[in-house]
Structure 1
Amino acid sequence: MTGPRQLALLAQESAHLAPGASEEAALGRRVFVSGSGAILTDLDGNQYIDLAAGTLTQSLGHCHPEVVTALTEQAARLWNVHDFATADRVELCELLAGLLPPELDTYSFFSTGAEVVEAALRAVQAVAEPGRNRIGALRHGFHGKTQGARMLVHWDIGNQAFAGNSVLGYSPYCYRCPIELQYPSCGVRCASLVRKHIAEKPNVSALVFEPILGAAGVIVPPPGYWEQIADSCREHGVLLVADEVLTGGGRTGAFLASERFGIEPDLVALSKGLASGFPFAALAGRSSVLRHPQAGRAGSTASTYSNNPLGIAAARATLEVVTRDSLVEQVLTLGELLDERLAELRRQFEVLGDVRGIGLLYGLEFVRSRTTREPAPDVARAVYLAALDLGLRVSIGGHIIRLAPPFTIERALLEEGVSLLGRALERVTEAGR
């Protein structure tokens, strides 16, 4: 339960703080004061295994000493000189060049995931051929909360409807197939419809997509989905813009999730784990796009905090550790363990309708019945709160709980975290009998 010191602080700040926090923060009502590796500590001294890794950001865990050192030393030297070159920027570029596919050889740096998605959209608009005035996206996608990112997926607020110029295609949501078919007998019909309505349309300039849909609940595409779409986009001149804000940096067991599905994107948006949760983002792309005369006009990649030395320092330190310690390979090993343990939980608990994931990114979908598959957000909330009380932090959204442990988590601690999740499920299911 939330301790007295935390309750007092939360009551005090509620007089000033606007509502609208994340569901997990609003429900959890915790005040965290420190973190080390995969462990968080709250204001009352309680500790938690953090299997959400911040907001799915802390690829090296909380306060990794090498990232702390890099930030501290940089903070003592220089914070912001707009987008002038700094000593570390070229080294970050070289690191990225060694980690990304060779065709993604041109970079620009920003501060947030939404900002880098907007930069990608500007690049697409700059190089689009006359008549290609539409952009493709996927239903259930999430690309940020800025207006351009929202318009991609037709996300309106209140009574305001800002219709964008995007064309929506079907996501590979096999558990809740939008066209009521079953894989593999469906022939991956969702992919063929994306080809028909987006890839083969002469007025579409690009398809903006998450290789694995994160906010929608870690929707992992089946074999054949991206192969069909990527090949068709390439054939018809539609640019592939991969939003890897969540998945990029190694979380899926490859530096880019696109690599795991054989996708060769023209542009890639990276953020979250790239700098261990420090605000930083990168747009990587083919030189034919990002060095195009229209895309490279003065100011097109500049903003107040773009190229900031602190973000560059955090990203450089993070990627150096990821490379040196072979953490992408470790993600694969730990991911196998996580997959096994979560499969055991699904066999044990009927409320877990589906468990899906890849590497160290998993989604648990809660249902009232495996027959009807009716979503059970109240059960997910109860499990989330029970887990917090037991000393485990996960990420909740609606009827889905997501797990994204740090790459550096010890095997025993990961096992303990999944065991605590099992205990939380036991508490909730027994209480509901």
Structure 2
Amino acid sequence: MTRHRQRAQLDREALHLAPGASEETAVGGRVFAHGQGAVLTDLDGNEYIDFAAGTLTQSLGHCHPEVVEALTAQAARLWNVHDAATEDRDELLSLLARLLPEHLDTYAFFSTGAEAVEAALRVVQATAPPGRNRIGALRHGFHGKTMGARMLVHWDIGHQAFAGNSVLGYSPNCYRCPLDLEYPSCGVRCAALVRKHIAEKPNVSALVFEPVLGAAGVIVPPPGYWEQIAEACAANGVLLVADEVLTGGGRTGAFLASDLLGVEADLVVLSKGMANGFPFAVLAGRAELLRSPAAASAGSYASTYASNPLGIAAARATLTVIERDRLAERAKRLGELLGERLRALQARFEHLGDVRGLGLLYGLEFVTDRHSRTPAPEIARAVYTTALDQGLRTAMGGHILRLAPPFTLDEALLDEGVRILEKAIEQVTA
């Protein structure tokens, strides 16, 4: 695999580009030139099966012809008229109303997931009754890098602490239980504590959560976790705000992961896969919240790129294909095949400590050994780079690799991707 042209470009960029890229980009050192479906090609002509789907965004794969056509046509007509109405926006609203649960019937459009999360927080704060001045979140959750999103999870930077008014509850990480218990004998104690400290507290207005924690390593909750919490929140007037930036749009095998897990959220944030990787985000919610005079004063849902015609065109084309071709069902079916193959790898390799996922979203956790479960980021990094050199792109972070291939991936490419992954693990851990 030659990389001469890529290395030359990266050397030139390093003269002016600020460091701080993602770990996978910094380690991978690739310059991608074009993509088609589930395959990427770099500047030197090398090809890669993209099991990361961009940045877990390309639901339909790279450069899907219908999305390209919609964007190209819109680019020739109109780009930005602030948040004024356009023809496509009306049709996108109707499409969302068909795809989302009936109670989520009101929508606001934004350009990034973090921007939509911030808007959700404003809605919660504007509509919360007096005395409900705290917000719940889950440890190790990720909701973006803006101030409000960071404050939710107590993410400090430098010497600045911005814990805000959030209360943190335990995430449902059975592989690394924070309470040193075992499922199912634990009785889902983590959920009971979230219920006690967040859902049943009279000063908490909302719980902001990822149904499946993505950046934390694809943490899939066990049965009983969300059932307990959701029931307690509903009974005590605590709003449920589902951050489905990663999972929304069909990736877990249902249009919303919260639906799949039996959670009826009051507000839902969607972004990554909604416009096949084009910058676009949606805040969906109950009418009584998003239409509340306290939350909907002039400019509340407006921003420079909110409702921009290009994002709307890409989203409408993407969601039309997902609905028409029943791609959420396809993601579920392919995910079952992927899960079988990954669990076979787990059984074979001592350093692959845990495999977990839903639909076409999986996390692979690498450890020094199964007994100690000590995180092994050096192994994960070596597997990532080895697989990349052999033509498979994954998403790396610390000691975890995430897999989120496009819904349009065919079974032959899925099998080839897993074969490359198996070969990479074998070479690294031999």
Percent identity, aligned pairs only, is 75
1:350 equivalent in alignment to 2:353? no
Which structure 2 residues correspond to residues 194-273 of structure 1 after superposition, within 5 A?
Answer: 194-273=194-273
Corresponding residue number in structure 2 for 1:327: 327
Which structure 2 residues correspond to residues 347-426 of structure 1 after superposition, within 5 A?
Answer: 347-426=347-426
Residue type of the alignment partner of 1:267: L
Give the C-alpha shift of residue 288 in structure 1: 1.0
Deviations 1:277-314 (A, max 9, x none): 00000000000110111011000000000000000000
3-state SS in 2 of match to 1:415: helix
3-state SS in 1 of match to 2:273: helix
The whole-number CA distance in structure 1 between the counterparts of 2:378 and 2:158 is 24
Deviations 1:44-73 (A, max 9, x none): 000000000000000000000000000000
Give the C-alpha shift of residue 2 in structure 1: 5.8
Corresponding residue number in structure 1 for 2:11: 11
CA contact (8 A) 2:200 2:236 kept: yes
CA contact (8 A) 2:153 2:163 kept: no
Give the C-alpha shift of residue 252 in structure 1: 0.2
Corresponding residue number in structure 1 for 2:305: 305
Corresponding residue number in structure 2 for 1:193: 193
The whole-number CA distance in structure 2 between the counterparts of 1:174 and 1:162 is 29
CA contact (8 A) 2:152 2:163 kept: no
CA contact (8 A) 1:113 1:281 kept: yes
The whole-number CA distance in structure 2 between the counterparts of 1:25 and 1:348 is 29
CA contact (8 A) 1:2 1:29 kept: no
Residue type of the alignment partner of 1:14: A
CA contact (8 A) 1:53 1:405 kept: yes
Corresponding residue number in structure 2 for 1:85: 85
CA contact (8 A) 1:218 1:357 kept: yes
3-state SS in 2 of match to 1:275: coil
CA contact (8 A) 1:275 1:311 kept: yes
Residue type of the alignment partner of 1:409: L
The whole-number CA distance in structure 1 between the counterparts of 2:9 and 2:249 is 36
The whole-number CA distance in structure 2 between the counterparts of 1:112 and 1:393 is 24
- Name the count of aligned residue pairs: 430
Residue type of the alignment partner of 1:124: V
The whole-number CA distance in structure 2 between the counterparts of 1:129 and 1:162 is 24
The whole-number CA distance in structure 2 between the counterparts of 1:329 and 1:160 is 45
**Structure 1-normalised TM-score?**
0.99
Give the RMSD, CA atoms, in angstroms.
0.6
Gap regions ≥5 residues in structure 1? none
Deviations 1:352-383 (A, max 9, x none): 00000010000000000100000000000000
Which structure 2 residues correspond to residues 96-135 of structure 1 after superposition, within 5 A?
Answer: 96-135=96-135
**Structure 2-normalised TM-score?**
1.00
Give the C-alpha shift of residue 158 in structure 1: 1.3
The whole-number CA distance in structure 2 between the counterparts of 1:198 and 1:100 is 27
Residue type of the alignment partner of 1:381: R
The whole-number CA distance in structure 2 between the counterparts of 1:160 and 1:166 is 16
The whole-number CA distance in structure 1 between the counterparts of 2:7 and 2:425 is 26
Give the C-alpha shift of residue 163 in structure 1: 2.2
CA contact (8 A) 2:2 2:46 kept: no
Give the C-alpha shift of residue 159 in structure 1: 1.4
Gap regions ≥5 residues in structure 2? none
Deviations 1:214-254 (A, max 9, x none): 00000000000000000000000000000000000000000
Corresponding residue number in structure 2 for 1:278: 278
The whole-number CA distance in structure 1 between the counterparts of 2:298 and 2:59 is 34
The whole-number CA distance in structure 1 between the counterparts of 2:199 and 2:330 is 36
The whole-number CA distance in structure 1 between the counterparts of 2:59 and 2:332 is 14
CA contact (8 A) 1:244 1:268 kept: yes
Which structure 2 residues correspond to residues 174-185 of structure 1 after superposition, within 5 A?
Answer: 174-185=174-185
